[in-house]
């Protein structure tokens, strides 16, 4: 991956990236604590968000809220180019304390209504705003200021499109099944879920359930559950909950296993987030 432009601090991670010959195996399902605005520029790919497959056209926007799983699915080795902007919700609190501008990220079902096409935007195109964030001839502080200023405009543009758009949530039978599965898993995320109990609940064989889940999310059942539990535990720890308690609250009954998984995923121990 070649970063044409990149800026990162504790609140924002923004990059414009190009893969000359992308490989599908290089891109895996992921989720994170930040909100994400993704802009597709070119390539040959589709995008998966919580089991929903979105076709991509240049200039389209996808938005993901924290813990909403997503991944790019590369279809050929055609050059793949995109913008990605990650940011913490509190970054807008000073100007928008009620987080009205974040409604498009939260006011829709999980994995539904994430995609906006260029035709959905009546005023400025998000692609232009993202391109204007890539100013290399200035200091990091100036970069941050320019990115934040344009972020507010970008969020306002997306909010306007969200308010005027009627989402079409028509699903095929298979999409309805995967949505039921993902809704059930997220509703019972901290319960004692196993592949066997899940497949039995949905009257499927273990292999069939695993295949449906993998096709929908790009990950295994346990990887999906574990990452979501880790992020939930981290949020609880940041609010002052002791790490051992947070682990129990989020479905981890073996603290040593939780500690190892936490350190591997976040790169530091749970106590660092207290």
Tens-place pLDDT, residues 165-218: 755 555 667 778 888 999 999 999 999 999 999 999 999 999 999 999 999 999
What pTM did the predictor assign? 0.89
- Please say if the pLDDT value at position 18 is more than 60: yes
What's the pLDDT band for 270 if we cut at 50, 70, 90?
Answer: very high
Give percent above pLDDT 70 in the chain: 97
Compute the half-sphere exposure of residue 51: CA atoms within 13 Å on the CB side of its CA: 25
Q: State the pLDDT at residue 171.
A: 64
Domains and CATH numbers, the chain: 2-164 (2.60.120.280), 173-273 (1.10.10.60)
Is the pLDDT at 41 greater than 70, yes or no? yes
Q: What is the pLDDT of residues 97-138, one digit of tens each?
A: 999 999 999 998 899 999 999 999 987 899 999 999 998 888
pLDDT mean across residues, the chain: 93
**Predicted local distance difference test score (pLDDT) of residue 274:** 86
Measure the CA–CA gap between 70 and 64, rounded to whole angstroms. 8
**CB neighbour burial string for 37-76, b if at least 16 within 10 angstroms, e if fewer:** bbbbbebebebbbbbbebebeebbbbbbbbbbbbbbebee
Lowest mean pLDDT among 15-24, 70-79, 116-125, 196-205: 116-125
Tell me, what's the pLDDT at 164?
83
3-state SS of 182-199 is: HHHHHHCCCCCCCHHHHH
Q: Express each pLDDT in 221-254 by its tens digit.
A: 999 999 999 999 999 999 999 999 999 999 999 9
Q: Given pLDDT bands bounded at 50, 70 and 90, which one contains residue 151?
A: very high
* Structure tokens given for 137: 């001839």
Of 254, 258, 252, 251, the C-alpha closest to 190 is 251
Helix (H, G, I), strand (E, B) or coil at 66: coil
24/234 Cα distance (integer angstroms) = 30
Phi, psi of 26 (to 5 degrees): -80, -10
Q: Is 3 helix (H, G, I), strand (E, B) or coil?
A: strand
Predicted confidence at residue 175, as pLDDT, reads 76
**pLDDT attached to residue 137:** 84
Whether the Cβ atoms of residue 235 and residue 228 lie closer than 8 Å to each other? no
Across the strands, what pairs with 62? Answer: 38, 115
């Amino acid at each position: 991956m070649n970063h044409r432009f990149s800026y990162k601090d504790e609140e924002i991670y923004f990059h414009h990236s190009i893969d000359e010959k992308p490989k599908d195996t290089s891109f895996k399902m992921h989720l994170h604590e930040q909100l994400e605005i993704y802009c597709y520029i070119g390539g040959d790919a589709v995008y998966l968000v919580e089991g929903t497959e979105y076709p991509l056209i240049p200039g389209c926007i996808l938005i993901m809220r924290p813990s909403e799983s997503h991944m790019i699915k590369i279809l050929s080795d055609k050059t793949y180019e995109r913008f990605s902007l990650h940011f913490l919700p509190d970054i807008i609190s000073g100007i928008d304390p009620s987080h009205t501008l974040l409604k498009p990220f939260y006011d829709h079902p999980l994995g539904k209504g994430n995609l906006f096409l260029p035709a959905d935007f009546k005023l400025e195109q998000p692609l232009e705003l993202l391109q204007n964030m890539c100013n290399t001839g200035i200091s990091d502080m100036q970069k941050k200021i320019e990115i934040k200023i344009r972020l507010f405009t970008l969020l306002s543009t997306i909010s306007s499109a969200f308010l005027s758009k009627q989402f079409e949530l028509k699903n095929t039978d298979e999409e309805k099944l995967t949505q039921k599965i993902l809704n059930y898993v997220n509703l019972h995320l901290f319960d004692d879920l196993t592949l066997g109990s899940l497949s039995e609940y949905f009257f499927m064989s273990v292999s069939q359930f695993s295949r449906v889940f993998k096709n929908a999310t790009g990950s295994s059942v346990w990887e999906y559950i574990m990452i979501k539990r880790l992020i939930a535990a981290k949020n609880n720890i940041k609010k002052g909950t002791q790490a051992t308690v947070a682990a129990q609250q989020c479905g981890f009954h073996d603290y040593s296993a939780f500690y190892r998984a936490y350190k591997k995923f976040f790169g530091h121990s749970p106590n660092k987030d207290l």
